[in-house]
Amino acid sequence: MTTATLQAAPQPRPLTKPTYLADGKTIRSWLLTTDHKRIAILYMISITLFFFIGGAAATMMRLELLTPQGDLVTSETYNKLFTIHGVVMVWFFLIPSIPTVLGNFLVPLMIGARDVAFPKLNLASWYLFMAGGAFAVFSIITGGVDTGWTFYTPYSSTYANGHVIAMATGIFIAGFGSIATGLNFIVTIHKMRAPGLTWFRLPMFIWTIYTTSLILVLATPVLAITLTLMALERAFGVGIFNPAMGGDPLLFQHLFWFYSHPAVYIMILPGMGVVSELIPCFARKQMFGYRFVAYATVAIGVFGFLVWGHHMFVSSQSIYAGMIFSILSFAVSVPSAIKVFNWTATLYKGSIRFQTPMLYALGFVGLFTIGGLTGLFLACLAVDVHVHDTYFVIAHFHYIMVGGMVMGYLGGLHFWWPKITGRLYPERLAKLSAVTIFLGFNLTFFPQFILGYLGMPRRYPVYAPEFQVLNVFSTAGASILAVGYVLPLAYLLWSLRWGRVAGPNPWQATGLEWTTSSPPPTDNFEKTPIVTEGPYAYDAQAAEAELEAGHA
């Protein structure tokens, strides 16, 4: 355990400073705050809003897909719905989710700092994000866009109707928010760690946020360039991607996936980070192979930049390029496998409790394993030729993004909720909704693997009747999933007022964030903590002994 924990334990109460929540109650004090914790809350509210916008679009799609005829909405509307769903979920929920909410809240706390390196830039990031979101919402309200979140040219640049440019502008602006956030975290983690907190004493969550930030800073500019070029072609007829104007449509795909494959890791690495915090805490065990997991994190970040072409095996890219991208994609899956094995091994000889965050963590491991393994199918050239652009791909990335990232986010939210709000959520209800989400998720997306291999293409509102049965299963699952998502919204809000008071460290967790009060004061720590040990100094035997002695 860190010395800070030991020092904090005897005298947790006497609070000299108000909590960050009590430090200013006006709207103005929130909108002009530079406190990383308050900014985290701003982000939390905004992405929750976007999550439900994206979720509403998904609901409409699933309802439409109940029947093969395309009778609930027109094809045009359906196309707009999946575009909204994709754009909003990717750029306005998944990418910001863990980094900007949990990351903003926890990075300074976990490294023993008062704030991030550039607090004003941090607030500016949120405004950029919201400005981007406003553009996106504007283009949705005023008629929508039907390009899909991938904006493939020449469709997007020449043929599509609707507010393509407004939508792209939204993503472009939000992207600058991402870059600023990434930059902020990189500098913060490099320069502001507490004395004694060396790199290999950092919690795994910090490693993953660090790697994610690197990707944000390096990859997002490419997306900005790509969307700009697309908009130039669309607005001014500059021939870049449209072959009728001398352009190359594949160039767009190369640029787009050069960003969007690494973006997949932006969306999953932080989830891995959360799970790496939860499993040791609830198993009361040192994390198995800590260094390997840290190296694996960085390896994923680096290799992630070299595999974009696996989205283009049938695009008419050279078959030799296809082979190189295939083998590299296999290579990048190895570090992910290493992580799964290490999480599982962490359970060995632990003293395991099954509170809600742990349920989410275990769910994450299971679903991520399936998501990762089905990724191998897509890396396999000959098999990808068949399943590319079918529901197999949809199922695969939802296992990673929703089964992985959203489970990770919810697990983390429950785990740190007492730290963020000072209150505990209702445990029984939370467990129930975790199980509901797990079951609903599998019922929604597992049938889609089968649908994909049977050959149902993605983005089809009208489909062949033999695919109906599996689609009905999927929609049934989605309804369960929806209930699972609304429940936490309800009881977490409830807990703000009526939840049990948590105390500084309800999970007996290690980590600097648990050494300060809940919710923390504006300055985070009364005095700068000094770190003398590695992370996850849990002791399963001691936990059992304590249980036997009867006071835990």
Site for another protein in 352-411 (CB under 8 A): 352-354, 362, 365-366, 369-370, 373-374, 376-377, 379-383, 385-386, 388-390
- At residue 361, what is the residue type? A
Alpha-carbon Rg of the chain, whole angstroms?
23
Q: Which is nearer to Cu ion, 201 or 261 (CB)?
A: 261
Rounded to an integer, what distance in angstroms lies between the CA atom of residue 485 and that of residue 236? 43
Q: Which does 261 bind (CB under 5 to 8 A by kind): another protein, Cu ion, none?
A: Cu ion
Residue 23: name the closest of 103, 113, 96, 115 by CA. Answer: 115
Query: What is the CA angle 135-128-146, rounded to 5?
Result: 30
Binding residue count for another protein, defined by CB under 8 A: 88
Look up tokens 């500098």; give the residue: 187
Q: Does 331 bind another protein (CB under 8 A)?
A: yes
Exposed / middle / buried, residue 151 (Cβ in 10 Å: 0-12, 13-18, 19+): buried
- Residues counted in the chain: 552
Q: How would you classify residue 550: left for phi > 0, otherwise alpha for psi between -120 and 50, otherwise beta?
A: left
Q: Rule CB under 8 A: which of 456-515 touch another protein? A: 457-464
Q: Note every long-range contact of 11-16, with CB atoms under 8 Å and residues 24 or more positions apart, other chains counting.
A: 12/503, 12/504, 12/517, 15/517, 15/521, 16/521, 16/526
Which two structure tokens, joined as six digits, stand for 380?
Answer: 């396999």
Residues between 251 and 310 that touch Cu ion (CB under 5 A): 261
Binding mask 204-243 for Cu ion (x = CB under 5 A): ----------------------------------------
**Nearest residue (CB) to another protein, 52 versus 292:** 292
The CA distance from 548 to 43, in Å, is: 43
Of residues 52-71, which lie at the interface with another protein (CB under 8 A)?
70
Site for another protein in 265-304 (CB under 8 A): 283, 286, 288-289, 292
Residue range at the interface with another protein (CB under 8 A); choices 183-191, 260-268, 313-321, 513-521: 313-321
Residue 38 binds Cu ion, judged by CB under 5 A? no
Q: Which is nearer to Cu ion, 305 or 416 (CB)?
A: 305
Among 337, 435, 472, 487, binds another protein (CB under 8 A): 337
CB 278 within 8 A of CB 204: no
CA-to-CA distance for 217 and 424, rounded, in angstroms? 36
Q: Which of 297, 300, 284, 296 is nearest to 354 (CA)?
A: 284
Footprint of another protein on 422-451 (CB under 8 A): 450
Phi, psi dihedrals of residue 390, rounded to the nearest 5° = -115, 180
Asked if 454 interacts with another protein (CB under 8 A), we say yes
Q: Is 319 in the site for another protein (CB under 8 A)?
A: yes
Task: Pick out residues in 70-99 that bind another protein (CB under 8 A).
Answer: 70, 75-76, 79
Choose the stretch contacting another protein; rule: CB under 8 A; options: 19-27, 200-208, 216-224, 337-345: 337-345
Separation CA 273–CA 295 (nearest Å): 13
Give the nearer residue to Cu ion in terms of CB position, either 285 or 311: 311
CB of 11 to another protein, least distance (A): 29
Closest to another protein by CB, 390 vs 448, is 390
Cβ proximity to Cu ion: between 262 and 484 the closer is 262
Q: Is 117 or 434 the residue whose CB approaches another protein more closely?
A: 434
The window from 23-31, 39-47, 424-432, 535-543 that contacts another protein (CB under 8 A) reads: 535-543
Measured distance CA(362)–CA(382) in Å, rounded = 33
Q: Considering the complex, what minimum distance in angstroms separates the CB of residue 463 from another protein?
A: 7
Cα–Cα dist 151/316, whole Å: 18
Binding of another protein by 349 (CB under 8 A): yes
User: What's the closest the beta carbon of residue 402 comes to Cu ion, in angstroms?
Assistant: 17
Chain residues that interact with Cu ion, rule: CB under 5 A: 261
